[in-house]
């Protein structure tokens, strides 16, 4: 498994990371090291081992459907760089 | 369309009517002031942990069972990653490869043809917040009240073959969701939303054509229109030997067209992975059975029962059971009434007419089963005529007053006194020599007109049978 520079560029774009050519090469190398290391696991025979979806020995942790108090509007917007009409004001989003 | 076959699949989102959100205890009330139903969890603050609402799981399973789905014993939640400010966490908690339910179906009927539409999956996820865009497009505003409201996403197999079938599917789905009570299914409040995929292929082909996805259809009618538009657009491109582009298109309701949405190709790369903050859901058979038992009688079963128990026609039973509220109303009436056909005619006639005109459901009106019962009894006892009953009903619908009270107030009691009607009959015979002559010349139909005149003169209060009999007696005897 060899990760290409194009794949790094693609993943960086999805994560909204801006990488220069040098960083791109460096990260491709690092990702390859990680993938190679993880690839060692593939040498194990896991035929009878169920996939691990979760590491915690827990299931069915629920809450009951009962409302509890929310934050006040002031608290909600306290850290907002900008607010208007009780809403977060954000850069324009155009579909 | 002879050369091509249309293939449609739907993705329907239904908001569940839980009191609180899926992963936190904020209320789900619609229409609250912006950002008043939010907390650190649904705002995606660092260090918070989501905890699953048991009711949301039960509602989702209930809906899935009503759609004839299989509920696997193990389900998990995954993060769907994308950057869009309607999600404060930059991911949506959804389900990827192990959804709550799979492999269901729904029977629909369209243009007299019954078809079984496969349900690929039903999964549980959180809704996103709402964005408002400024008039000049220079900024947007985010309200996270809706963020975290529980949704089920219902994905059909590509089994639908026409836009009309897609609409029929949605109507049936809405009816079933209302029956189960898991959602109030109000499209205008966004508690049911639908995206559609459509493609065309040569008749008999075993592959699929290039599909487009349509978004932003805000009514069942819009879904049908949007699909009809796309169907035609595909047909024109294919017939001209052109090639379609797989893309997402937006329906413009006012212009009646779809147009391609600006979207990057990679946008569909969501990099799902299991949400480490949430533990798996294990649904054992006992739990499924418990939920199955809580399912009410579904429309199809009710239809069968109405036919067997009350002798209603298949059509009448279908119309009445399509809405749970209508069917419940009908059953409440029938608990105290004997003539199902007459009650059904009222439901499908006057009641449906007034509800449609007002644009409301029966449970949103002032009408109660007691109103209809009293009205039916007034007619049966001969206190008012069928015609007057319609007038009385209109007022019942408006005011919520009891029919007997309206009849008393307005003096609408039927005239059953022979002498009184005879006087009116004589008057009508005198005033209408032409129809009288027609009748005597053997034109039996003229009697209808004359009865109508008696009714008119008595302002609808004459007993029609009596009027008819007295008219005939007089006209026939004067023949000799």
CATH number at residue B444: 1.10.10.410
CA distance, residue A58 to nearest chain B CA (Å) = 6
Residue B185 sits in the same domain as residue B313: no
Domain final residue pick, B371, B389, B410: B410
Examine residue A28 and state whether it is found in any structural domain, yes or no. Answer: yes
Residue B286 sits in the same domain as residue B302: no
pTM of the model: 0.81
CA nearest A63: which of B59, B276, B54, B125? B54
Q: Which parts of chain A sit beneath pLDDT 70?
A: 1, 94-95
Domain final residue pick, B230, B263, B290: B290
Interface of B with A in 67-86 (CB under 8 A): 76, 81, 83-85
Residue B313 sits in the same domain as residue B428: no
What's the domain range around B379? 295-410
Residue B135 phi/psi, 5-degree rounding, is -55, -40
Q: List the single residue in B55, B132, B282 with the smallest CB-CB distance to A87.
A: B132
List helix spans (H) across A51-95. 73-77
Mean of the per-residue pLDDT values of chain B: 90
User: Is A31 an 8 Å CB contact of chain B?
Assistant: no
What's the domain range around A16? 5-43
Residue B391 sits in the same domain as residue B301: yes
Residue B72 sits in the same domain as residue B213: yes
Task: Select the residue from A8, A51, A67 to test the B interface by mutation, using most B Cβ atoms within 10 A.
Answer: A67
CA distance, residue A68 to nearest chain B CA (Å) = 5
Residue B286 sits in the same domain as residue B313: no
User: Is B276 an 8 Å CB contact of chain A?
Assistant: yes
Q: Which pLDDT tens digit goes with each residue over B272-303?
A: 999 999 999 999 999 999 999 999 988 888 99
How high is the pLDDT of residue B263?
A: 59
Residue B380 sits in the same domain as residue B442: no
Examine residue A21 and state whether it is found in any structural domain, yes or no. Answer: yes
Task: Select the residue from A8, A14, A17 to test the B interface by mutation, using most B Cβ atoms within 10 A.
Answer: A14
Examine residue A30 and state whether it is found in any structural domain, yes or no. Answer: yes
- Contacts made by residues B299-306, CB under 8 angstroms, sequence distance 24+: B299/B175, B299/B176, B299/B179, B299/B324, B299/B327, B300/B107, B302/B327, B306/B340
CATH number at residue A25: 1.10.20.60
Residue B328 sits in the same domain as residue B344: yes
Confidence of residue B462 (pLDDT cuts 50, 70, 90): confident
- What DSSP designation does B268 have? G
Examine residue A85 and state whether it is found in any structural domain, yes or no. Answer: no
Domain final residue pick, B251, B273, B290: B290
User: Is B274 an 8 Å CB contact of chain A?
Assistant: yes
Residue B386 sits in the same domain as residue B473: no
Residue B81 sits in the same domain as residue B39: yes
Examine residue A11 and state whether it is found in any structural domain, yes or no. Answer: yes
Distance CA B413, CA B378 (A): 9
Summarize the confidence of residues B365-374 as an average pLDDT: 93
Residue B170 sits in the same domain as residue B300: no
How high is the pLDDT of residue B9?
A: 97
Summarize the confidence of residues B72-77 as an average pLDDT: 95
Residue B140 sits in the same domain as residue B34: yes
What's the number of domains chain B is made of? 3
Chain B residues inside the 8 Å CB shell of A92: 133-134, 137-140
């Amino acid at each position: 498994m060899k990760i290409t520079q194009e794949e790094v560029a693609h993943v960086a774009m999805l994560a909204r990371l801006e990488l220069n050519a040098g960083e791109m090469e460096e990260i491709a190398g690092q990702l390859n090291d990680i993938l190679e290391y993880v690839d060692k696991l593939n040498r194990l025979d896991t035929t009878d081992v169920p996939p691990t979806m979760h590491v915690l020995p827990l299931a069915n942790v629920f809450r009951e459907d009962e409302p509890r108090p929310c934050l006040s509007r002031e608290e909600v917007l306290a850290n907002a760089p900008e607010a208007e009409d009780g809403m977060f004001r954000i850069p324009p989003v155009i579909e | 369309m002879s050369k091509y076959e249309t293939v449609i699949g739907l993705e329907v989102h239904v908001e569940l009517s839980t009191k609180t959100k899926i992963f936190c205890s904020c209320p789900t009330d619609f229409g609250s002031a912006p950002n008043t139903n939010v907390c650190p969890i649904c705002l995606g603050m660092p260090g918070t942990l989501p905890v699953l609402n048991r009711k949301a799981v039960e509602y989702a399973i209930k809906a899935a069972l009503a759609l004839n789905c299989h509920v696997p014993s193990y389900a998990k939640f995954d993060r769907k990653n994308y950057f869009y400010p309607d999600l404060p966490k930059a991911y949506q908690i959804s389900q990827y490869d192990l959804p709550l339910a799979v492999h269901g179906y729904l029977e629909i009927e369209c243009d007299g043809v019954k078809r079984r539409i496969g349900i690929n999956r039903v999964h549980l996820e959180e809704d996103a917040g709402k964005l408002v865009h400024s008039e000049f497009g220079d900024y947007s505003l985010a309200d996270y009240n809706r963020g975290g409201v529980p949704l089920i996403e219902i994905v059909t197999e590509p089994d639908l073959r026409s836009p009309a079938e897609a609409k029929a599917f949605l109507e049936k789905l809405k009816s079933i969701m209302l029956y189960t009570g898991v959602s109030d299914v109000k499209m205008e409040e966004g508690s049911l939303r639908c995206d559609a995929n459509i493609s065309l292929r040569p008749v008999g082909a075993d592959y699929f054509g290039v599909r487009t996805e349509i978004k932003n259809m805000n009514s069942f009618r819009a879904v049908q229109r949007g699909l009809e538009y796309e169907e035609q657009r595909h047909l024109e491109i294919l017939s001209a030997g052109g090639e379609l582009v797989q893309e997402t298109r937006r329906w413009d309701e006012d212009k009646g067209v779809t147009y391609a949405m600006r979207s990057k190709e990679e946008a569909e790369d969501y990099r799902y992975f299991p949400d480490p903050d949430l533990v798996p859901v294990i649904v054992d058979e006992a739990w499924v059975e418990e939920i199955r038992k809580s399912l009410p009688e579904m429309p199809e079963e009710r239809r069968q029962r109405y036919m067997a128990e009350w002798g209603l026609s298949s059509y009448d039973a279908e119309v009445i059971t399509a809405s749970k509220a209508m069917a419940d109303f009908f059953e409440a009436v029938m608990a105290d009434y004997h003539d199902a056909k007459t009650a059904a005619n009222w439901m499908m006639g006057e009641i449906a007419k007034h509800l449609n005109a007002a644009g409301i459901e029966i449970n949103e009106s002032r009408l109660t089963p007691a109103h209809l019962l009293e009205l039916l009894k007034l007619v049966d006892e001969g206190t008012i005529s069928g015609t007057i009953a319609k007038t009385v009903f209109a007022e019942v619908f408006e005011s919520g007053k009891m029919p007997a009270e309206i009849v008393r107030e307005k003096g609408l009691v039927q005239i059953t006194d022979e002498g009184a009607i005879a006087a009116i009959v004589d008057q009508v015979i005198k005033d209408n020599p032409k129809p009288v002559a027609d009748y005597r010349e053997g034109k039996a139909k003229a009697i209808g007109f004359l009865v109508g005149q008696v009714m008119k003169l008595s302002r609808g209060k004459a007993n029609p049978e009596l009027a008819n009999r007295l008219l005939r007696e007089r006209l026939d005897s004067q023949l000799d």
